């Protein structure tokens, strides 16, 4: 039997270096503003060497996006039907905020792709992401019908959570320019604010 030979240690190392460099470059400049030369330079490789691993800039971008979608869906998947509704949604908010703090480049990569019309991931958005969002919206609507949550639109609730958490990654420079925080201290302040905000909005009066 013939097959693809496993990557050598140096091939694995170079692939990781290319993807790490590409994440940095794409998150700063977007797909259109980035070049193979920039990525190769950041990875410490020659352009011909990089093209041995990835034949085009788009191939690198697609590799990054393919790994990102599962990461993006994970916090919403954790919403537990059997948990306390308000606590479950606040838990989702805080998980998304933690992602904004720990994975800001990935968030900006995703945002840049969406701003361009999501040409490389539209199938995933209209497929796995849409299915998961609709599934969790049905859960939220069920909680509302049971009188466990305030009457809010489930889809727009989720959209608002994306907006209020991913903001801290996608507009990091703006937030730091205004707050001038020490390191990431503002994330703790954001967590307290968002928990109070959503608990107030979701609690049945």
| Parent domain of 4 | 1-55
Q: Do 96 and 172 reside in the same domain of the chain?
A: yes
Burial of 192: CB neighbours in 10 Å, binned 0-12, 13-18, 19+: exposed
Q: How many domains does the chain have?
A: 2
Q: How many CB atoms lie within 10 A of CB 2?
A: 4
pLDDT in tens, 6-29: 779 899 999 999 999 999 999 999
Q: Do 21 and 38 reside in the same domain of the chain?
A: yes
pLDDT average, residue stretch 92-112: 95
Specify the pLDDT at position 3.
Answer: 53
Mean pLDDT of the chain: 94
Q: Do 121 and 29 reside in the same domain of the chain?
A: no
Q: Which of 35, 55, 75 is the last residue of a domain?
A: 55
Q: Is 198 left (phi over 0), alpha (psi -120 to 50) or beta?
A: alpha
Q: Do 142 and 189 reside in the same domain of the chain?
A: yes
Q: Do 47 and 68 reside in the same domain of the chain?
A: no
Q: Do 44 and 113 reside in the same domain of the chain?
A: no
Q: Do 79 and 49 reside in the same domain of the chain?
A: no
Q: Do 42 and 98 reside in the same domain of the chain?
A: no
pLDDT in tens, 35-94: 999 999 999 999 999 999 999 999 999 999 988 888 889 999 999 999 999 999 999 999
- CATH number of 142's domain: 1.10.357.10
Q: Do 10 and 32 reside in the same domain of the chain?
A: yes
Q: How many CB atoms lie within 10 A of CB 184?
A: 12
- Give Cβ neighbours of residue 159 (< 8 Å, ≥ 6 apart): none
Q: Do 146 and 45 reside in the same domain of the chain?
A: no
pTM: 0.89
pLDDT average, residue stretch 97-101: 97
Q: Do 126 and 179 reside in the same domain of the chain?
A: yes
Q: Do 45 and 93 reside in the same domain of the chain?
A: no
CA proximity to 66, closest of 29, 116, 7, 23: 23
- CATH number of 21's domain: 1.10.10.60
């Amino acid at each position: 039997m013939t097959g693809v030979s496993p990557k050598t240690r140096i091939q694995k190392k170079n692939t990781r270096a290319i993807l790490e460099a590409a994440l940095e470059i794409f998150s700063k400049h977007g797909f259109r503003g980035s070049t193979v030369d920039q990525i190769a330079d950041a990875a410490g490789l020659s352009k011909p060497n990089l093209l041995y691993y990835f034949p085009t800039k788009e191939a690198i971008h697609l590799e990054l996006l393919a790994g990102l979608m599962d990461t993006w869906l994970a916090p919403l998947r954790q919403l537990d039907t059997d948990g306390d509704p308000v606590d479950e949604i606040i838990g989702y908010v805080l998980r998304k905020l933690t992602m904004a703090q720990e994975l800001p480049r990935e968030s900006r990569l995703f945002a840049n792709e969406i701003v361009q019309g999501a040409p490389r991931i539209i199938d995933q958005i209209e497929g796995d992401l849409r299915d998961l969002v609709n599934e969790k919206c049905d859960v939220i609507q069920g909680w509302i019908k049971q009188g466990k949550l305030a009457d809010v639109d489930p889809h727009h609730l989720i959209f608002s959570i994306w907006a209020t958490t991913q903001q801290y990654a996608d507009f990091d420079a703006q937030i730091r320019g205004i707050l001038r925080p020490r390191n990431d201290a503002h994330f703790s302040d954001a967590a307290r604010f968002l928990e109070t905000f959503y608990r107030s909005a979701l609690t049945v009066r």
